[in-house]
Each structure stands twice: as C-alpha cells, then as structure tokens.
C-alpha cells in the first residue's frame, strides 16, 4: 500500500492531512488548563486510533504465542505478526522478508549489528567510523565493541549548521574501517544526511554501512534497495506505532553469515546438548517471545502511513517547518541550532540565557510539549559548547496553531525572565 500511494496536489494534500489530526485521541486534551500542542514527536509520536484499535482487538480476540501453536488463536496471532513483517518489508523496499528482523527498537537493532556483525570482524588496528551528529544509540554500542576488540572509534566532524563535513568523512573512509554507522536524520538538529551518496562512496571502498533511520521513517519514503546500505535500523514508536518495537533491515547474505545475537526459544531448529542448529532467517535473530501486540500495532501504523502517503507527509511537514523556523527567528534573543540545507521537521533553539529545562517547564504550563536537554546527542551539544537546547519536533498532525502556541509560550517565558 505505502509504495503505491497516490500523490495529491499540494493544497489538497495539506487539507487532507489537516483532517488526520482527528485520528489521534491524545492530541485532543487539555494540559495544565490549555489545549495540548504536542511538539515532542522526535522523542515519541502519538498513535492513531487505527493502531490503538488494532492492538486492542488483537488483545481481545487473537492473542496467543506465535509460531508454536497449532490452535486457531496461535495461528491468528502468527498471521498478524508475520503480516506486519511483510508490511514492513514493503514499507522500506527490502528484497525479502528474511531481511526484516523484528527488534525492540533502533537501539537493539544497532547493538545486534555491533555484536553479531562487527565484533567478530574487528580487531586492533581497525576502525569504526561514525559522525558527530549521532544519537547515543549510534555511539555507545560501537564504543563497547571497540573496548571488546581493540578497534578504534573515529568520528567525522560537523559544521556550524549541523551538517557532516563530507570531505572529512570521505577522507576518513580508509581501508581499515570495518563499519560506517551514520544517522539518516539527526534527532537533535534535524539535518538530513545525504546517505545515498555516503553509502555509494563507502560501498566503492568495501566498507559496510549501517544507517540509523529512527528519525527518517516518520518523515520520508525510505527505500533500502535504492539506498544500497547493508543495515538500516528504525523504531516503531517514532512512526506512530507502539514502543518496544523496531526493525533491523540487513542484507540477506550478511545476516546469513552472522551468528545469533541472543539464544533461546524460536531462534532454533533443533536443540541437543552436543549441538544446536539455529533457525533460518530472520528467526535466528528473534529469540524468545516477541512483543506480538506491539508488532501487530506497528503493522497498522505502516498501513496508516500508506494511506496518508509519505510524499504528502514530507511536503506538508516541509511547509510547516518553514513556518516554524520563520516564527521562531522573529523572536528577539532566539538562537537556532541546526540550520542545515536539508532538514526534517525538527528545530533546536535557546532563548536569551534561559536554561532549556526552565523554558521547557514554563511552556509546559501553557500546554506546549517540547523536549529540553541534550536529546541523547551530547557530542552535538559539545560541538556548540552548550549544555542542551529546547527542541520542537513536528509530525504531520501538527499545524500552524501549534507553532503559534509555542511562540506565544516562549514570549511569555521571555517576559517572565525580563
């Protein structure tokens, strides 16, 4: 469904998307006596009724363990769970369902690759290459592998607009690099990295590439076949699905050659004390009872995104981002962080010398939900020599009124500190 979406003319698409706000019950409430303006989507997005109802119906009627039962409920649960895998394969354009490993989220997906793919292949004298823009989930797993293997973590710099210095990155792609791990979209600054180009250069040099797509899948059509990456990681809860769900896409030949990440039920074909035979892909990487209801809900989120249309979402959010950037820029004393040429709908900023936590608390009193702090991207904050920022992150269900509410709340905070 998602890949066959129809693209509407821009004005029609914007009007249709505005109607979608009604699908999200959490948006229609008062917080601290004010209507909620939810602008913390980069941390976790709200879920539409289609997802909430799918999970509730599954729990009410179909729940049983997957893959193991011959009885009807187990078959229903398995069908729904595996159906989501097919939807996710389609959603990111993977060649085969064997390439879709269901995980608890981006963090687990990256740790899986670090331990199962890189750890056996890296040693002293080798390098793992990342960038300054990464979320901690795309830093710490590599630091752990470096400690385990003696490999070195190398980090490509960014400029003051929050863009990766591509010349430096390419110069750092030397033959001793065992993995390049790069974010598709920065959660702290919104920068969209040119991952197609980066991947092409890395592949030319035989460097495996993992893309952290946690902040990309809610905003744009992702096609791993076009990208040509080896691994792509993302989370369900950033794309209007449940927490505790996610995907690791991996090229089949690589996954085939990798040892299991965890041992337990479901990841085996036969267990004997002298030898255990592992299950086929992707089950080899899915030990234990999974988050079945969550995955079923994630499948509903994929269907829902397909109905809205990723192209329509991208176009709508770009317009809203431009509006938010303009409105924020008009506030005296504002400093914007993350002004890259290509950006997703995220804006970090500081106002006067008000601490971001104080600012976040004050705007919350006006019903405006934004994130304050380092956004799990401390090196980005270190680059700018600041402790943190306030971050407003938009989804397609946000509108101009939400942005206006943010600006009003900031002006009120400014007046308080004047």
Residue 325 makes contact with ligand PLP by CB under 6 A? no
Backbone angles phi, psi at 109, to 5 degrees: -60, -45
Residue from 106, 312, 325, 389 that binds ligand PLP (CB under 6 A)? 106
Residue 235 makes contact with ligand PLP by CB under 6 A? yes
Residue 258 CB, shortest distance to ligand PLP, in Å, is: 20
Q: Which is nearer to ligand PLP, 138 or 325 (by Cβ)?
A: 138
Residue 377 CB, shortest distance to ligand PLP, in Å, is: 8
What residue has token string 């193991």?
Answer: 68
Question: How distant, in Å, are the alpha carbons of 39, 158, 341 from that of 312?
Answer: 19, 30, 20
Residue 380 makes contact with ligand PLP by CB under 6 A? no
Query: Where in 330-359 is the site for ligand PLP (CB under 6 A)?
Result: none
Residue from 48, 141, 162, 183 that binds ligand PLP (CB under 6 A)? 183
Residue 135 makes contact with ligand PLP by CB under 6 A? yes
To which H or E segment does residue 74 belong? helix 72-92
Q: Are 308 and 20 in contact (CB under 8 A)?
A: yes
Residue 393 makes contact with ligand PLP by CB under 6 A? no
Residue 308 CB, shortest distance to ligand PLP, in Å, is: 21
Residue 137 makes contact with ligand PLP by CB under 6 A? yes
Taking alpha carbons only, the member of 159, 163, 170, 158 closest to residue 129 is: 170
DSSP 101: E
- In the chain the first and final C-alpha atoms are separated, in Å, by 53
Q: Are 83 and 102 in contact (CB under 8 A)?
A: no
Burial 48-84 (b: 16+ CB within 10 A, else e): bebbbebbeebeeebbebbbeeeeeebebbbebbbeb
Residue 187 makes contact with ligand PLP by CB under 6 A? yes
Query: What is the Cα–Cα distance from 127 to 133, expressed in whole angstroms?
Result: 18
Residue 218 makes contact with ligand PLP by CB under 6 A? no
Residue 133 makes contact with ligand PLP by CB under 6 A? no
Query: What is the Cα–Cα distance from 47 to 243, expressed in whole angstroms?
Result: 10
Residue 141 makes contact with ligand PLP by CB under 6 A? no
Residue 107 makes contact with ligand PLP by CB under 6 A? yes
Query: What is the Cα–Cα distance from 314 to 326, expressed in whole angstroms?
Result: 18
Window contacting ligand PLP (CB under 6 A); options: 75-83, 101-109, 150-158, 381-389? 101-109
Residue 376 among the catalytic residues:
yes
Among 146, 229, 376, 385, the one annotated catalytic: 376
Query: What is the Cα–Cα distance from 254 to 236, expressed in whole angstroms?
Result: 24
Residue 103 makes contact with ligand PLP by CB under 6 A? no
DSSP 61: I
**Residues annotated catalytic, as ranges:** 376
Residues in contact with ligand PLP by CB under 6 A are 105-107, 135, 137-138, 183, 187, 212, 214-215, 235, 376
């Amino acid at each position: 469904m998602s890949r066959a979406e129809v693209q509407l003319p821009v004005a029609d698409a914007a009007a249709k998307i505005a109607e979608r706000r009604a699908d999200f019950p959490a948006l229609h409430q008062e917080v601290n006596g004010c209507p909620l303006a939810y602008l913390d989507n980069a941390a976790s997005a709200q879920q539409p009724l289609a997802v909430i109802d799918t999970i509730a119906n599954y729990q009410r009627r179909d729940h049983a363990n997957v893959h193991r039962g011959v009885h009807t409920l187990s078959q229903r649960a398995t069908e729904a769970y595996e159906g989501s895998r097919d939807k996710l394969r389609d959603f990111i354009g993977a060649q085969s369902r064997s390439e879709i490993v269901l995980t608890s989220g981006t963090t687990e997906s990256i740790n899986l690759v670090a331990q199962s793919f890189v750890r056996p292949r890296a040693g002293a004298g080798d390098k793992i290459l990342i960038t300054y823009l990464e979320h901690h989930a795309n830093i710490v797993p590599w630091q752990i592998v470096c400690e385990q293997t003696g490999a070195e973590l190398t980090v490509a710099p960014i400029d003051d607009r929050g863009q990766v210095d591509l010349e430096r990155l390419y110069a750092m792609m030397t033959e001793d690099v065992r993995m390049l791990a790069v974010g598709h979209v920065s959660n702290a600054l919104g920068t969209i990295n040119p991952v197609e180009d980066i991947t092409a250069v890395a592949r030319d040099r035989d460097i495996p590439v993992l893309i952290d797509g946690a902040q990309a899948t809610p905003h744009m059509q992702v096609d791993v076949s076009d990208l040509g990456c080896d691994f792509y990681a993302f989370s369900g809860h950033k794309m209007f699905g449940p927490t505790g769900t996610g995907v690791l896409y991996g090229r089949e030949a690589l996954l085939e050659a990798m040892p299991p990440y965890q041992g337990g039920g479901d990841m085996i074909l036969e267990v004997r004390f002298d030898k255990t035979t592992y299950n086929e892909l992707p089950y080899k990487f899915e030990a234990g009872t999974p988050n079945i209801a969550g995955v079923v809900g994630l499948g509903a989120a994929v269907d829902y995104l397909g109905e809205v249309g990723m192209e329509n979402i991208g176009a709508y959010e770009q317009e809203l981002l431009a509006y938010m950037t303009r409105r924020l820029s008009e506030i005296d004393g504002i400093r914007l962080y993350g002004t890259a040429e290509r950006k997703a709908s995220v804006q970090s900023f500081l106002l006067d010398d008000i601490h971001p936590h104080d600012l976040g608390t004050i705007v919350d009193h006006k019903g405006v939900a934004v994130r304050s702090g380092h956004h799990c991207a401390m090196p980005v904050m270190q680059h700018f020599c600041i402790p943190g920022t306030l971050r407003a992150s938009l989804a397609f269900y946000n509108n101009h009124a939400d942005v206006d509410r943010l600006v009003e709340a900031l002006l009120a905070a400014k007046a308080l500190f004047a």
